[in-house]
Amino acid sequence: MSQLENNEPLLINEEEETAYDETEKVQIVRNEEDDLEQGVGCGGAPPFSWKKLWLFTGPGFLMSIAFLDPGNLEGDLQAGAVAGYSLLWLLMWATAMGLLVQLLSARLGVATGRHLAELCRDEYPTWARMVLWVMAELALIGSDIQEVIGSAIAIKILSNGILPLWAGVLITALDCFVFLFLENYGIRKLEAVFAVLIATMGVSFAWMFGQAKPSGSELLIGILVPKLSSRTIQKAVGVVGCIIMPHNVFLHSALVQSREVDKRQKYRVQEALNYYTIESTIALFVSFMINLFVTTVFAKGFYNTDLADSIGLVNAGQYLQEKYGGGVFPILYIWAIGLLAAGQSSTITGTYAGQFIMGGFLNFKMKKWLRALITRSCAIIPTIIVALVFDSSEATLDVLNEWLNVLQSIQIPFALIPLLCLVSKEQIMGSFKIGPLYKTIAWLVAALVIMINGYLLLEFFSNEVSGIVYTGFVTVFTASYGAFILYLIARGITFTHWRFKAESSH
């Protein structure tokens, strides 16, 4: 029998609510007779089609925004200033690890027709899923504060300092309504806007790259030759640590459901996975190039200088202006335009992720505008407070940014472990569960990322925490934190999906 005719259904419940209504999904134009005549391609799916790739293109680029948010850009510029070109190889491999995780997230969403937050709601007892939900929301709020502050810094630069940081925060908050407006016109329109924002970042930072004229030979050596030193180890850990964003793991598993895929036909699911793999790889290659541009510009300008250890998002534009001068298009404003595109795009995807996380964990059924407003308010209110308190102090803003990085680092296991447990189970994934080799590599990558972030946490708390009370609190928190991680791993071993149990009882 032809592989194309193997229509054994996966374990799904057609009545279950999904991330997108059927009317919202992008319809993939197919010709069943042509597919059967042409035979099979990779994994039993129909042969490659450029037209289908175009129709599947979108979710991966929205996902890639998290690799380009202001927090990542700050990590890039600091790595370049402190370590020069020597960490470019690590940036490349960190992006590859991020791609692996995001492909697993996409696989989960396509094969099950449900996203990670929904599956966590079904698989964990109430207390555990509430902890996971709170952790996911905290990670999202921490990320959103960094993104909104990044946009506000860009607006302050572009207004020549007329608009203070808090005013930039309010302007950025309006993106919630832009998002709602665009969403009414369909997912493809929203994806087109993100394509423009990514292109804006690419052009802005590529222009800066051209202005800086970095050394081609040193750049190539930095990519191909692994190198670490005692001075660069902390920045190296930071490069890896900021690649995996917890909310992005939840987001991608929902975004891939924006395409119409008949899950009753295995070869259609495989076809979707193939195209999403290609699209996500292209998207993260673009994000890698943009991150590389930023790193090399600051490596060229500030490596081995007295300014290297003091550069951050707040003062980066001014330092660039002093180093490279004005010209027809002052580099200060080119930097601000790229930063604004990064901040705006990442805050909108944050709103998007927040809707899926809240709806998935709590099973809230409310109008989209209300859910988006609640999600946006959770981040904007604390961000305005931050902007008012820290507007006049670069040093305290940098300290806050370190605490926000810690907040997000803490959350990473609570997205990665459930994801890996779910994609490994045949009761949940059917024949699309990951194999032993893929599973081993995925767990090794997850363990590496978790250990690296654990190192960051240990380093941070050893420097910041002192006194018996604080030390006692950190000790209790660490013990509880470790116990919950072990629980998630143990619970994953005993997963029996609710749909499988329901069918077994009949």
Report the pLDDT averaged over residues 321-328: 77
Q: Give the C-alpha separation, 390 to 145, whole Å.
A: 13
Torsion over CA: 303, 155, 209, 59 (sign)? positive
Question: Tokens 């997912």 label which residue?
Answer: 187
Cα–Cα dist 115/122, whole Å? 11
The mean per-residue pLDDT over the stretch 104-132 comes to 92
Q: How far apart are CA 191 and CA 504, in angstroms?
A: 41
Q: At a CB cut-off of 8 Å and minimum separation 6, what does 452 contact?
A: 237, 240, 241
Per-position b or e across 38-62, b if 16+ CB within 10 A of its CB: eebbeebbbeebeebeebbbbbbbb
Give this prediction's pTM.
0.87
pLDDT of residue 447 exceeding 60, the answer is yes
pLDDT digit string (tens) for 4-56?
Answer: 444 443 444 444 455 777 777 777 766 555 555 555 555 567 888 899 999 99
Report the distance separating Cα 455 and Cα 237, nearest Å.
8
Task: Give the whole-angstrom CA distance, residue 287 versus residue 64.
Answer: 7
Listing DSSP states for 402-429 in one string gives HHHHHHHHHHTHHHHHHHHHHHT-HHHH
Write down the pLDDT at residue 219: 93
Mean pLDDT in residue range 377-386: 74
What single letter denotes the amino acid at residue 231?
A: R
Q: Are 111 and 432 in contact (CB under 8 A)?
A: yes
pLDDT at 382 exceeding the cut of 80: no
The per-residue pLDDT for 423 is 94
What does the H/E/C string look like for 273-301? HHHHHHHHHHHHHHHHHHHHHHHHHHHHH
**Number of Cβ atoms within 10 Å of the Cβ of 13:** 12
| pLDDT of 130 | 93
Tokens representing residue 201 in the block: 């970042």
Number of H helices, E strands in the chain: 23, 0
Alpha carbon distances (Å) from 451 to 96, 186, 430: 17, 40, 31
Give the pair of three-digit tokens for residue 291. 């991150």
Cα 368 to Cα 374: distance, rounded to the nearest angstrom: 10
C-alpha to C-alpha distance for 273 and 58, rounded to whole angstroms = 14
Write phi, then psi, for 360 (nearest 5 degrees).
-70, -50
Predicted local distance difference test score (pLDDT) of residue 115: 92
For residues 188 and 198, what is the distance between their CA atoms, to the nearest angstrom? Answer: 15
Average predicted confidence (pLDDT) for the chain? 82
Give phi and psi for 22, each to the nearest 5: -60, -35
Q: Measured between alpha carbons, how far is residue 28 from residues 36, 169, 275, 284 in Å? A: 17, 39, 12, 23
Q: What is the pLDDT of residue 128?
A: 92
Q: Which of 447, 445, 429, 424 is nearest to 493 (CA)?
A: 424
In a 3-state reduction of DSSP, which class is residue 121? helix
Residue 320 contacts residue 209 (beta carbons within 8 Å): no
Average confidence (pLDDT) over 227-244: 77
Measure the CA–CA gap between 288 and 291, rounded to whole angstroms.
Answer: 5
Distance CA 145, CA 151 (A): 10
Query: Which residue, 110, 121, 120, 105, is CA-closest to 12?
Result: 110
Q: How confident is the model at residue 111 (pLDDT cuts 50, 70, 90)?
A: very high
Q: State residue 471 phi and psi, 5-degree precision.
A: -65, -40
d(CA 472, CA 128): 24
Tell me if 70 sits within 8 A of 290, measured CB to CB.
Answer: no
Contact 295, 67 (CB under 8 A): no
User: Which pLDDT does position 292 carry in this prediction?
Assistant: 95
**Over residues 193-212, mean pLDDT:** 93
